[in-house]
Structure 1
Amino acid sequence: MASSTEIRVSTTFFPSALLPNVADGSRSDLIIHTSDTVFFYVHQSVLRARSNNNFGMLLSISTPQYTPNTTSPTHRNDHDQEPGTRDYFGGGQDNMPFVESSPPGQANTMSTIFVSEESVVLNIVLHLTYGMRCGRYGPSIEVISGALEALPRYGLPTPGLTNEIWTVLLRQAEMDPLRVYSLGAAHAIDSVCVQASEHTLKTPLSNVSEVDAMTMGPIYLRRLFFLHFGRVEALKRILGPPPDTHPDTAACSEVTQRAVKKAWKAALAELLLADKPQATSVASIVSAFGPIANSTQCLACKEKIQERIASVVHEWGNVKRSI
């Protein structure tokens, strides 16, 4: 009795799939076999047209293999599938990766190439190659990074600014801003770097690893450091001057006003010594300097302090938050 072989095939790139940018709606003529044994049915004409090196020189060394009968696929436990794959079953010999279940002599043959990427990564690469949207898969930063790294290896262009992949990447900027910034910088997508840079303000520059620095390159690394250091210097400049003084009164002497200045400087030092001064919030400023107004009984001092805090909040809000 013939044994059964499980075949995992992409749910987008399967034999009879109608894919965009394919001349005359022709059927696939190439199988790509991933490192986790998922099969992608694609068109050599599309890969050759998009790639400047014959898809990493793999198209010139492809080998023929038998293709399974996929006219009536059998699904098994879809919850156990890798995202974007499904199982096919065909009877045949155990030493074949997949076998046509039709009678001998009726099997078609197709060329097959083997790649080192896993299916989740190749899936994004092929979506980019065919000009298809890939956001529905919700690829992680690791998957997007792997796909972007694979593109030049296969002679494929970096997706343009309007491609959905950058929007998908930016959705994860708050979770891992340095990684998103690095990927944007590595591919010179300036708008991605600008948007991600604001999220990096909550991350100390000491978290920038050597790998991050090399990925960003000197220009974007410099811009990131200038953003962080520039905001700290702006904070010092804006908060530096203490509240204005007023003429001595019976209720408030010069000694009292000197105490207000001393308290202001102490609050400033506390903010600057905080973990991430470049990310200082308006709430933090009000929390640090507000109590100074409550510490004096002089109404004139209270008014000067409140005016100063309002001025600081306004100026700080105008300081640039991105590269």
Structure 2
Amino acid sequence: MSTQARTPVGTPMDGARISGSAMMSVSTTFHPNAVVDQLPSDLILVSSDKVYFHVHCYRILGASENGFCSLLPPKAQVQRGGTQMITLAEPADVLNVVMHTIYNFSASQFMPSFEALEAALGALVKYGVPLKQCVVSGSPLFALLLSSAPTRPIDTFALAGSHELEDLAVAVSPHLLAYSLPSLTDELARRIGPVYLKRLFILHYGRNEALKGLLLHPPNPHMETPDCSDAQQRYLTRAWALASAHLVWDARPNLSVNLLQATLRPLEKDLTCELCKQSLKERIAQVVADWSAVKRTI
């Protein structure tokens, strides 16, 4: 018998073990000759699409709080020297993530889809693996889920909320600053749950209010000079108010520093007083610094 790697898990064939004319798909990570543990594998898990995972019973039982959904005997009753085979309901791409999580390996090289990751979390719950122990900052599964945030931010946030994964929800939330909250569907709101949904609304509202507060104060006036009267300084105040109103009207919580500067800096071109110009520059710098410091996470 020989083991031949074919294609990554997530496609119909992730490896092949040939015996005579029969061909079996075998996990490229958890195959019979894989060195993933000091002990030889004693358990074969078969996915619904017939991919074989050669794993260790003690590892599975050590990670599971329900005997792997009662499919495995208690630790004290595990027989040594034999190999048990169990067929599961999950497809290979989902089971692959589950096994990598139990072994604390990264499955990022297989590039599982978001749907596979979502199903893997459900499978981990089903098989008694506590998510709050394996989806924590710094863990392989946490990193894999967070990698979905740039392209699927609201879905990743909903997944975190539905499983009450605090670290993941917080890490994903900056990616939702550009999200239009009125577009939330009832189904998404239900999955996110009232606690994390409220925190998301507070994040958006808080940043918008912070921006209004920062722009409320115009550049500081200076003492009148022969070249710049109080009336001339009021022109800068009015121009600042108009530019600020434009920013606040269109602004989203993800307003960039570049856009902020691009809107306020042109006010300088109509100023002739060097003191007014300096006051404007200082105020813009302060607004930019304060806006950069406003909280970006739930």
TM-score interval for Structure 1 and Structure 2 normalised by the shorter chain: 0.7 to 0.9
Give TM-score scaled by structure 2 length: 0.76
Question: Where does residue 155 of structure 2 map in the other structure?
Answer: 179
- Structure possessing the higher radius of gyration over alpha carbons: 1
Alpha-carbon distance in 1 for matches of 2:36, 2:217: 65
- Residue 222 of structure 1 aligns with an amino acid whose one-letter code is K
- Residue 205 of structure 1 aligns with an amino acid whose one-letter code is L
Tell me: CA distance 1:259–1:19, structure 2 relative to 1, closer, same or farther (3 Å).
same
CA shift digits 1:231-289 (9 cap, x unpaired): 1111101111222334555544444333322221111121112252x112222221111
Query: Are the counterparts in 2 of residues 16 and 28 from structure 1 also a CA contact under 8 Å?
Result: no
Question: Where does residue 290 of structure 1 map in the other structure?
Answer: 265
Q: Percent identity?
A: 35
- Summarize the alignment of residues 142-157 of structure 1 with structure 2, pairs less than 5 Å apart: 142-157=115-130
- Residue 201 of structure 1: how far off its partner (Å): 1.6
Task: Report the secondary structure of 2:250's partner residue.
Answer: coil
Question: Where does residue 14 of structure 1 map in the other structure?
Answer: 31
- Residue 45 of structure 1: how far off its partner (Å): 4.7
Alpha-carbon distance in 2 for matches of 1:243, 1:144: 51
Alpha-carbon distance in 2 for matches of 1:311, 1:19: 54
Question: Where does residue 271 of structure 1 map in the other structure?
Answer: 247
Tell me: CA distance 1:199–1:160, structure 2 relative to 1, closer, same or farther (3 Å).
closer
Matched, 1:191 2:191: no
- The number of residue pairs the alignment matches comes to 268
Alpha-carbon distance in 2 for matches of 1:179, 1:287: 33
Indicate which of 271, 289, 298 corresponds to 1:314: 289
Alpha-carbon distance in 2 for matches of 1:112, 1:174: 39
Question: Where does residue 17 of structure 2 map in the other structure?
Answer: none
- Summarize the alignment of residues 237-256 of structure 1 with structure 2, pairs less than 5 Å apart: 237-256=213-232
Tell me: CA distance 1:31–1:302, structure 2 relative to 1, closer, same or farther (3 Å).
closer
Query: Are the counterparts in 2 of residues 30 and 44 from structure 1 also a CA contact under 8 Å?
Result: no
Structure 2 runs not aligned, ≥5 long: 1-19, 74-81
- Residue 115 of structure 1: how far off its partner (Å): 2.9
Tell me: CA distance 1:130–1:286, structure 2 relative to 1, closer, same or farther (3 Å).
closer
Matched, 1:167 2:143: yes
- Residue 155 of structure 1: how far off its partner (Å): 1.9
Task: Report the secondary structure of 1:270's partner residue.
Answer: helix
- Summarize the alignment of residues 1-323 of structure 1 with structure 2, pairs less than 5 Å apart: 4-20=21-37, 25-32=39-46, 34-59=47-72, 112-158=85-131, 159-161=134-136, 162-274=138-250, 276=252, 278-323=253-298
Alpha-carbon distance in 1 for matches of 2:103, 2:293: 43
RMSD (Å) for aligned C-alpha atoms: 2.9
CA shift digits 1:198-235 (9 cap, x unpaired): 22223232344434333333222222221221111111
Tell me: CA distance 1:121–1:292, structure 2 relative to 1, closer, same or farther (3 Å).
same
Larger mean Cα displacement after TM superposition, 223-232 or 37-46: 37-46
Give TM-score scaled by structure 1 length: 0.71
- Residue 39 of structure 1 aligns with an amino acid whose one-letter code is Y
Tell me: CA distance 1:250–1:157, structure 2 relative to 1, closer, same or farther (3 Å).
same
Task: Report the secondary structure of 2:177's partner residue.
Answer: helix
Alpha-carbon distance in 2 for matches of 1:296, 1:131: 62
Alpha-carbon distance in 1 for matches of 2:249, 2:87: 55
Alpha-carbon distance in 2 for matches of 1:298, 1:51: 72
Alpha-carbon distance in 1 for matches of 2:104, 2:285: 51
